[in-house]
Amino acid sequence: MKNIRNFCIIAHIDHGKSTLADRLLDFTGSVTDREKKEQLLDSMDLERERGITIKSHAIQMDYTYKGEQYILNLIDTPGHVDFSYEVSRSIAACEGALLIVDAAQSIQAQTISNLYLALENDLEIIPVLNKVDLPSANPEEVTDDIVDLLGCDPSEVIPASAKTGIGIEEILTAIIERIPPPKGNPDESLQALVFDSVYNPFRGVETYFRVINGEIKKGQKIKFVATDSDYFADEVGTLKLTQHPKQSVKAGDVGYLITGIKDAREVKVGDTITDAANPTKNPIAGFEDVKPMVFAGIYPVDTDEFEELRASMEKLQLNDASLVFAPESSVALGFGFRCGFLGMLHMEIIQERLEREFNMTVITTVPNVSYHAYTRKNPDTALIVNNPTDLPDPSSIDRVEEPYIKATIITKSDFVGNVMSLCIEKRGVITNQTYLTTERVELNFDIPLAEIVFDFYDRLKTVSKGYASFDYTPIGMRTSKLVRVDILLNAQPVDALSALIHADNAVNIGKRMCEKLKELIPRQQFDIPIQAAIGAKVISRETTKALRKDVTAKCYGGDISRKRKLLEKQKKGKKRMRQVGNVEVPQEAFMAVLKLND
C-alpha cells in the first residue's frame, strides 16, 4: 500500500487538465504510440467536439522512481461549473490533487471553488503552473497569485507545459513525495466507496470503486449497503486504458467491478460495497447528495416511446449520477419526465446524449427553478413548486419564495461597470468587491437563481469579452413578488410554455414571448391569436395571420355580390376550422423563449 498514490486533477475549464493527463500517460509509458491521441481520456464524441470534459475518468499508471515501482491512480475531472458534482466524487476517492492554473489566464472562479472542495476533504494540494511556454504567459505574477491563495512557498509551485512536456517529471516526483499513501487496513472486512458507474449494453452495470479497507476478490459475495442487495463479483480488476481483470483488488487501490446487474437503479454513486458474509459496521459517510439547480420537462415526441425514454434516462443516470428525474404529465405534451439538472450546459448535454446514444427524439420545456409557495390557510407549510402549473390560485397565495445564490465573478477591472449593470438588471444585489490585483476584481452578488438560469452565463461572457469567470453557491430561499405568465394559443393555454416571472418584468417578458412565438409558429388555414396572460388578464397579443386561398380568382369582372358570397363562405369555413383547429408548437419555440435577448 505504501507504493500507491491516488490523485485527481482540478482546474478551471480550459486550463489544460486533459492535455496534462495525456503527458502523464505518455511519460509513464501507459499508452503505446498507436493508442496516442489528443485528450485521450475524453472518450465521448461530445467531449471531443466541444473540447470540454463532461465525465471524470479513472486510469492507472505504473512508474518507477528511485528503483521502486509505484502505482499511480489518476482521476481526471471536468472544469465547468455545471459538472462540479463529478469533481466532488473524484475528490472523495483521492488523497491528493494537482491544482492546475493557466499561466496566461491566472486564477479563475472554478479554480477557487474546486480548491475549497479539495481542502474540505484534507487533500494534499500540488500547485502546477501550466502553459508557461505561451508568449502571453506571466509566470512570476501568477505564481504570486497562487502563493497568496494557498499560502505555500513559491518553490512548491511547479512550472510546466502540458503541450511541450516541460515539468512532467517534476510533477510525478511531487506526486510520489508529497501525496501521502492511502491509509487503510487490508485485514479488516471489505469497505469500498463507489465513485462512478457506467452502463455496458453487453455486461450490465460496471461499477468503479476505491477500496478503503480489506480486499475484494473475484467470485466473492458482496453487498451494496444503500440498496441492501447481494451480488457475486463476476469480475474485478484495475483500470488501465482498457480493463485489466485481476484475482483481487486490495486496500488503497482503485478498480472496477462487474456483477451482471441489469437494473440501473441498483447502483448508487457514493454507496459502500462490503462483504455479504462479514459486513462492515460503518458505511463511508460524508458523501454529498446532488442538488439540482434547474428543472425542465423532457417529453418524447411520439407518446408511445415513454417507456423507452424511461429506460434511456435510467442508463444515462448511471453514467451521470447528477441527473434526477420523476414522471409527470402535461396537457399539451402527454407523458414525460420532470428532470433536475446542475445548469444549462448540463441540460444541453443530456438532451444531446439522449439523441445520440439512445436515438430518442425529445422535446424539452422551458427550464425553471424550484419555488416554495405558502397559502393563506396554512402560512407555515411550504408547497414545493417545480412546475409553474402547480402554483396555487393567486387569490389563495400568502407569499412565494424563490432560491437565491451567492455569485462570485472574477473579471478584469475594465469590465466591472458592464458586469455590475448586467447583475443589477438580473435583480442582483452587490455584497462585496475585492481587488485581487490592480487588474483583477472579485465581485460578490446575491442574485435569484431563476435569473441566471437562462442566458446569464452567455451574456456575462459577452459583456466581459470572455474575461469573466463565474461560480455560485446556494444561500437559501427569499420572499419575492412572483406571478405566473401563461401563453395561450388559439385561446388554449399551453402549459409547457408557462413561466413564473417577477411582477416588475412580467409585462415586458410576456410581450417579447408573444413576438418571438409569432415568428416561430407556422401559419395555418386560420388566424392564430397568441396571448400572454396573468390569471384572467391578457397582457399582450400577437396574431399569426391565416394562409388564404384566393377564392375569387375565377370571378373575372361581374357583380360584386358574387365575390362577396364566395368570401363569406370562406370566412364561415375559417371560423369553424378555428374552433376545432389544433396548433402544433415546434421544438424551436420552446427553446426560443430562453433567448429573448437575441
Residue set of the binding site for GTP: 14-19, 130-133
Helix or strand holding residue 480 (H, E)? strand 469-480
Any idea what the Cα angle at residue 508 is, between residues 505 and 509, rounded to 5°?
A: 80
What count of other Cβ atoms lies within 10 Å of the Cβ of residue 524?
19
Q: 485 - beta bridge partners?
A: 499, 534
As a whole number of angstroms, the longest Cα–Cα distance in the chain is 108
The pairs formed by 432-441 with CB atoms below 8 angstroms and a separation of 24 or more are 436/107, 436/145, 436/148, 436/410, 437/141, 437/145, 438/413, 439/412, 439/413, 440/106, 440/410, 440/411, 440/412, 440/413, 441/410, 441/411, 441/412, 441/413, 441/416
Q: Three-state DSSP class for 485? A: strand
Q: Is residue 97 a contact partner of residue 180, using CB atoms and an 8 Å limit?
A: no
Residue 184 falls in which region: left (phi positive, over 0), alpha (psi -120 to 50) or beta: left
Helix or strand holding residue 109 (H, E)? helix 109-120
Q: What sign does the CA torsion over 329, 330, 336, 338 have? A: negative
Q: Is residue 488 a contact partner of residue 531, using CB atoms and an 8 Å limit?
A: yes
Question: Which has the closest alpha carbon to 450: 386, 496, 514?
Answer: 386
Q: 211 - beta bridge partners?
A: 192
Q: Three-state DSSP class for 566? A: helix
Distances (CA, A) of 268 to 256, 273, 290, 313, 347: 15, 10, 12, 15, 21
User: What burial letters (b/e) apply to 142-162, b meaning 16+ CB within 10 Å?
Assistant: bbebbbebeeeeeeebbbbbb
Question: Which has the closest alpha carbon to 489: 543, 427, 414, 566?
Answer: 543
Q: How many residues does the chain have?
A: 598
Q: Alpha-carbon distance 152 to 119, whole Å?
A: 14
Q: Alpha-carbon distance 473 to 452, whole Å?
A: 12
Q: Alpha-carbon distance 262 to 282, whole Å?
A: 27
**HSE-up of 235 (CA within 13 Å, CB side)?**
15
Q: Alpha-carbon distance 247 to 176, whole Å?
A: 26
Q: Which residues are annotated as a binding site?
A: 14-19, 130-133
Nine cell digits for residue 374: 405558502
Written as one string, the DSSP assignment of 332-392 is TTEEEEEEEESSHHHHHHHHHHHHHHH---EEE---B--EEEEESS-TTSPEEESSGGGPP
Q: Alpha-carbon distance 258 to 209, whole Å?
A: 11
Nine cell digits for residue 501: 416571472
